[in-house]
């Protein structure tokens, strides 16, 4: 079975530009979460989507937005990129059973974003 | 801010020995904890989880212990192998929708 897939693998952008990252969850999983991992730190929660609705948002500015599609795939958008947005962006999927969405989250390989 | 942290940022262990990785958490309402392993250039890989109504859970070569009295979590790896070299994160469920991660412990296995 395919795991969580993310695209692209690597991305280089210039300050002020916009970026879109994509994620496909494990088949059958209805919940997708996005995390930012800066080098040397643990992942930080950005968003969670369940059944195409935003269920949670972390401490990130409005430049960060996301959405989930009917096939449960998801996109993360970041506008007006800053140097500090350089990080590994991780997508995680989970079944979303019993209303507890965060249990048993499985991560993709991430997208490495470099802002110059 | 983060409510999950690790006692030591690095751990060096001899191949074949047992490893113990520790984690302290501050949110007494957390009801679910996960250990992840992250190798260089990869996303976190699920190792084992434990719910707050349990004290111990065993997997293949790994054991997680939860002490709710002192809000402490540990991961024990038996007969550590070179492939166990990675960064290990503990994470806790702080809300129904998100996990909070600590900074991680880098485990290096010496041959």
pLDDT tens string, chain A, 116 residues long: the values are 589 999 999 999 999 999 999 999 999 999 999 999 999 899 999 999 988 899 889 999 999 999 999 999 999 999 999 999 999 999 999 887 545 555 778 999 999 999 99
| pLDDT score for B3 | 42
Tokens of B18: 């047992």
| pLDDT score for B4 | 55
| pLDDT score for A1 | 59
| pLDDT score for A100 | 59
C-alpha atoms less than 13 angstroms from C-alpha of A73 in its C-beta half-sphere: 9
Q: What is the mean pLDDT of chain B?
A: 89
| pLDDT score for B102 | 84
Does residue B21 carry a pLDDT above 90?
A: yes
| pLDDT score for B1 | 29
CB A60 within 8 A of CB A36: yes
Residue B106 burial (10 A CB sphere; 0-12, 13-18, 19+): middle
CA distance A43 to A107: 11
| Ranges assigned E (strand) in chain A | 5-7, 10-13, 19-24, 31-37, 44-50, 53-57, 64-68, 74-78, 87-94, 106-107, 111-115
Residue A60, chain B, CB below 8 Å: the answer is no
Does residue B107 carry a pLDDT above 90?
A: yes
CA distance A45 to chain B (A): 7
Q: What is the largest CA-CA distance in chain B?
A: 42
Cis preceding-peptide flag for A75 (omega within 30 of 0) = no
In angstroms, what CA-CA distances link B99 with A42, A50, A70, B41, B42?
11, 15, 24, 21, 18
Does residue B91 carry a pLDDT above 80?
A: yes
Mind listing the pLDDT tens digit for each residue in B46-59? 999 999 999 999 99
C-beta atoms surrounding A111 within 10 Å: 21
| pLDDT score for B22 | 93
Interface contact flag, B32 A102, Cβ < 8 Å: yes
Tokens of A8: 């692209």
Q: Are strands A111-115 and A106-107 parallel, antiparallel or unpaired?
A: unpaired
| pLDDT score for B8 | 76
Of B36, B96, B98, the CB nearest to A45: B98
Counted residue by residue, chain B has a size of: 111
| Residues in chain A within 8 Å Cβ distance of B29 | none
Of A41, A103, A108, the CB nearest to B103: A41
């Amino acid at each position: 079975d395919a795991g969580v897939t993310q695209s692209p693998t690597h991305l280089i952008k210039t300050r002020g530009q916009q970026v879109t990252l994509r994620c496909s969850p494990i088949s059958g999983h209805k919940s997708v979460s996005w995390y930012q991992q800066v080098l040397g730190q643990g992942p930080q929660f950005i968003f969670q989507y369940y059944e195409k609705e935003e269920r949670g948002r972390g401490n990130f500015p409005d430049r960060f937005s996301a959405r989930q599609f009917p096939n449960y795939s998801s996109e993360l958008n970041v506008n007006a990129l800053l140097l500090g947005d350089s990080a590994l962006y991780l997508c995680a999927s989970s079944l979303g059973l019993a209303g507890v969405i965060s249990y048993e989250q499985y991560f993709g390989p991430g997208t490495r974003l470099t802002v110059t | 801010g983060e409510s999950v942290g690790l006692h030591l940022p690095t751990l060096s262990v001899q191949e074949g020995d047992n490893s113990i990785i520790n984690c302290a958490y501050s949110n007494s309402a957390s009801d679910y904890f996960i250990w992840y392993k992250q190798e260089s250039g990869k996303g976190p890989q699920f190792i084992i989880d434990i719910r707050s109504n349990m004290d111990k859970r065993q997997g293949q070569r790994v054991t997680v212990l939860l002490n709710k009295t002192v809000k402490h979590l540990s991961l024990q790896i038996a007969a550590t192998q070179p492939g166990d070299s990675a960064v290990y994160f503990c994470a806790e469920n702080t809300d129904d929708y998100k996990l909070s991660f600590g900074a991680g412990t880098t485990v290096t296995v010496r041959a």
